[in-house]
Amino acid sequence: MASDNTDQPLQGAALIKDQVRRLPDSPGVYRMMGEDGEVLYVGKARSLKKRVIQYAQGRFHTQRIALMVDLTRSMEFVTTRTETDALLLEINLIKQMKPRFNVLLRDDKSFPEIVIRREHPAAQLRKHRGAHTIKGDYFGPFASAHAVTKTLNTLQKAFLLRSCSDSVYEARTRPCMLHQIKRCAAPCTGLISLEDYAGLVDQAEDFLRGRSRAVLASLSSQMQAASDDMEFELAARLRDRIRALASVSQETQINPESLEEADVLALHAEGGQACMQVFFFRAGQNWGNRAYFPRVDKSDDDAEVMAAFLGQFYDDKPIPKLILTSVEPAESDLLTEAFGLKAGCKVEISRPQRGEKRQLVDDALTNAREALGRKMSESSAQSRLLAGVAQAFGLDADPERIEVYDNSHIMGTNAVGGMIVAGRDGFLKSQYRKFNIKGTDLTPGDDYGMMKEVFRRRFARLVKEEESGDSRARPDLVLIDGGAGQLAASLEIFEELGIDDIAIVGVAKGPDRDAGLERFFLPDKPPFMLEPKSPVLYYLQRLRDEAHRFAIGTHRIKRAADMLKNPLDEIEGVGPGRKRALLHAFGSARGVSRAAVDDLAKVDGVSSALAERIHAFFRKG
């Protein structure tokens, strides 16, 4: 007799127990996967077999880990040579996959740096962000663009290095304004020899590498010599340079001898939230600080949070020789070994107990505590605002994700749509989206048609994502810039895609576009206004203004790029080399358009056939 029972796929602890039987007793990385392949957790182990079996046994699990095990539907494994290799792979996978149950570093932007670009005989001093593709000496990281600008101003005053581009440098026939205000030595016009200018560059490099005392001593001796020779104007210039450098030393209480290069990290956790404050010290100076709010759980241990943050933070950043922390990270020795391999030098991770270094950590911890307090206060205020929005629009619950849409164009040209996203953590700028309007059948300036195209592309993608099981990007509330017409156009797309469970509201500007007199349009309801000076009204105005700012900024970028286009780019057979030769011969694209076929054929690289094609291109129609 045939059995009616069918084999059910293993899941949860039973699945993990089955997987353990085939695991090696060696280092590696494991991934726990949920429904539809969602990565729930990435971990590493010295022994995959011994580590993974703990999940099947159910020992020492918090409720969160128990939930993770229960949701597990499959697992994937990678074996590695050493536990250090496993750690580095784990860090990389967490940053790529952003698993739901891992401690996760958010807002991981690159830091600005200063580069002394040495590709030119007169080295250039400039700000830089991103990969080190320029040949030169890099100094950083700086916590913010403001910190870089402040240091660049000091360096210009002290060392008189140029910041202009090479094209500007080559075109100068007389010194620019920066020379007049004593911020550039003007090597472009020969007011300083390239040999003497190189000496200034070397001094700037010494200063940025922490040898500021030697630089100050050298400048002081030069000033004294100029004074002895009664060259008082030169002595005064040297005095001003010394003052510029001294001002930096006075602003920071750090002794270059005791702390030449270090990062200071302090963690404060409270109420299921955490703040990591990071201070950068280079060349004996404080180069700024930044607060991070990693995604954590109440059950996460501080040592584990510190270890996870360190690993992800330094995955793509230069690692200093010394890292001072308020909490000793879990598996500190392993992290130290991994960082040493990446940095190519000895790296020390230390939790100082006394002295100046302990004071630095305590200061960072105070900053972390205050930053988290401000964020929790802002989150509380944000929650009240979202509750007010739900009440104003009759929502069943406070919105977790709000999407706001606006279009921007000039007489229909360079049309773009912008989408911003806001939630409990404020504006989620990493999730902003732009939509280049592509419809060829749209009448220029057709705002309704543009909104339909934006909505069709955005929400058709959402439907496709949800069919594959991903509902994380579903908004609870959609705001559009416009009144009844815009609302009707948007609802038409919702009906076309079968979406009937997302709240949508039109926000129409008041008479004469006065803020505070906005009218709100909901489906099947008469328009209404909110109480003037209401905090909820102010919040909705901020959302609309941010969407407008983003849309018009995107439009301006597109318009500027369009203005830079050259008609020669559209001619088949005219590449960068021939384009350069044509522009050199005729001065501009307009000059090329007026040229005769014979004149075009005289240009190096332009054949008779290509000359005729160029001539015909500018005369079509």
Query: From CA 598, how far away is CA 612, in angstroms rounded?
Result: 9
Query: From CA 96, how far away is CA 615, in angstroms rounded?
Result: 51
**Same fold for the domain at 261-373 and the one at 401-562?**
yes
Per-residue tokens: 252: 């920071």
Tell me the longest C-alpha to C-alpha distance in the chain.
115
Give the 3-state secondary structure percentages of the chain, helix then strand then coil, rounded to 5. 50, 20, 35
What one-letter code names the amino acid at 559? Answer: R
Contact in structure between 164 and 177 (CB atoms under 8 Å): no
Question: For the chain, which residues score pLDDT lower than 70?
Answer: 1-7, 58-61, 108, 212, 244, 246-259, 410-413, 440, 468-471, 510-516, 561-565, 621
Per CATH, the number for 567-617 is: 1.10.150.20
Query: From CA 537, how far away is CA 533, in angstroms rounded?
Result: 7
DSSP conformation letters of 35-98: GGG-EEEEEEESSHHHHHHHHHHTTT--HHHHHHHHH--EEEEEE-SSHHHHHHHHHHHHHHH-
Contact in structure between 494 and 513 (CB atoms under 8 Å): no
Distances (CA, A) of 139 to 3, 152, 318, 339, 403: 72, 11, 10, 19, 39
Query: From CA 44, how far away is CA 493, in angstroms rounded?
Result: 46
pTM score, two decimals? 0.66
Residue 254: per-residue pLDDT:
45
> In sequence order, which residues have a C-beta less than 8 Å from that of residue 574 and are 6 or more positions away?
568, 582, 610, 614
Per CATH, the number for 401-562 is: 3.30.420.340
Query: From CA 266, how far away is CA 313, in angstroms rounded?
Result: 13
What length is written for the chain?
A: 621
Peptide bond just before 141 cis, omega within 30 deg: yes
Q: What one-character DSSP code corresponds to residue 472?
A: T
Q: What is the domain partition of the chain in residue ranges?
A: 12-97, 261-373, 401-562, 567-617
Using the structure block, give the residue that is written with the tokens 């750090």.
254
Fold (topology level) of 261-373: Nucleotidyltransferase; domain 5 (3.30.420)
Cα 400 to chain centroid distance, Å, stands at 23
Of 446, 441, 548, 454, nearest in space to 492 by CA: 454
Contact in structure between 324 and 350 (CB atoms under 8 Å): yes
Query: From CA 9, how far away is CA 520, in angstroms rounded?
Result: 51
Contact in structure between 265 and 323 (CB atoms under 8 Å): yes
Using the structure block, give the residue that is written with the tokens 């997987």.
19
Of the chain, the end-to-end C-alpha distance in Å amounts to: 83
Contact in structure between 492 and 468 (CB atoms under 8 Å): no
Residue 268: per-residue pLDDT:
94
Give the bridge partners for 290, in sequence order.
278
Pick the CATH number of 12-97 from 3.40.1440.10, 1.10.1040.10, 3.20.20.30, 3.40.1000.10: 3.40.1440.10
